Structure 1
């Protein structure tokens, strides 16, 4: 599958793959959807699979319910999009949106347009400023003095390089003890919870750490800026989850 797809093509590709891997028939899916009140035939499911159906929200919900029953495991709506990295909201559009943006919206994030091609300079600047502030704070604590610009720049560059390491390398550094990674500490601070509490919430929500989920969604070889944007979406997902479990 190409890196950028329409939503209809992404859902159709996912459906075709799942049918092939699990040995499902068009009629099985149609019958499962009819149990929820749909009037689908095998032809209806075929149209979805070929990307020729009008994918309204009820259609997506019915498809998720039908596949969830047949696979014997609940499916989030975002799973129907398969593994595509970017999506176009309108066929032929020259302005794709990031997959992480779509996942965030489906999980309750605000619907604010974010294009794949428009790398937001303000976001990059915000990330650097947050890192610089954190570096200055830590250097003051460790050395009892203000750091020089060269020291701050060198430390920020090191932190950005470390953010490209696999999550296991970043989170299992014995020197950090139970303080958590820099990304976890910043996310916990934004949410007003302890790092330990953030870790428990992440495990409940995604079955792994915030950094692992950020790495998975941003994709291999992603830049620190891209990881930062994904992490901000994840923080909002955790915030929404906290509100649900209160």
Structure 2
């Protein structure tokens, strides 16, 4: 588990849950998952997005977190190592079609695929895809985002 201690291991929700159980047993009392995110700094959600630990801690505690504000802030300047993948034409069109913000499209895409809508579409379509193929795949991915947004995800 050296990789975990160094922050070099991708951690699933299951592992986070197990860590709270094991650490709780070691400490002799239950701990909240948010205690795993103490201190300053950031947590890498994917290769393009770092989230401040305070924001993640609040989300894990069940607080309402304005992810859109975080994403909007990170597009202008990148303080404290925060990066933003940005929104492209596909994200903007998807946002209009879904009636949500491009930042929300980006958030749902990251939750579903760990990347942006554009990057996921391009990966699925392949380098030689024409506009018709990219459009068909984009519509399918927008449907997945709609399903996730409608389910409260």
How high is the TM-score relative to the length of structure 2?
A: 0.43
